[in-house]
Amino acid sequence: MADKKPVLAAPKYDSWRTLVIPPVLREMHGAPLASHAKPWVFLSVTNRPPLGTDFDRDYWYPIRDGAKERDSGPRYARRARPEMAGEDIYRLRHWAKAKLDEAGDIPRVAVEARMGHELPGVEGTYSEVTVVMEERIVEYLLSGRWR
């Protein structure tokens, strides 16, 4: 907040990064972005940035717990997400990391970089995420996470 108005802020710890995502997610994000001229992918029910909304009540809980279909406004999955039952959106990052760790063959440096973390010590100094590692993450996500 600045002067009692919501403002867009930099990511925590300036953890800017790009992510390679499966084509299906690119398409899912491309449709709402193409539907308006604003720089944000998702807008509020009132067609403004969701800053200042009650995000948990208006967005996260209906996504997590399921919601009745609406004629206007955000479209939610109508079914609950039992794997996230009762979880705060903050825990979604932890869930995403656990799912990548579950794959078992994605290098730690790629998982941590995706989370915005740097590995400490020699491992961090001499490790680097490659295109093949990013492709493996996309392959894993497509194999069952985002079909």
In this structure, what is the dihedral angle of CA atoms 17, 20, 26, 29, given to the nearest 10 degrees?
-20
Q: Report if residue 17 sits inside a domain.
A: no
Q: Report if residue 103 sits inside a domain.
A: yes
* Domain termination site, one of 61, 86, 111: 86
* Domain termination site, one of 38, 58, 86: 86
* Domain termination site, one of 60, 86, 112: 86
Say yes or no: 64 and 110 in one domain.
no
The DSSP letter of residue 141 is: I
pTM as predicted:
0.69
Question: What's the number of domains the chain is made of?
Answer: 2
Question: Tens of pLDDT along 14-62?
Answer: 878 888 888 888 888 888 888 888 888 888 777 777 777 888 888 888 8
Q: Report if residue 147 sits inside a domain.
A: yes
Question: Tens of pLDDT along 106-145?
Answer: 999 999 998 888 899 999 999 999 999 999 998 888 886 5
Domain residue limits at 77:
22-86
Helix ranges restricted to H, the chain: 23-34, 55, 61-65, 90-103, 108-115, 121-126, 131-140
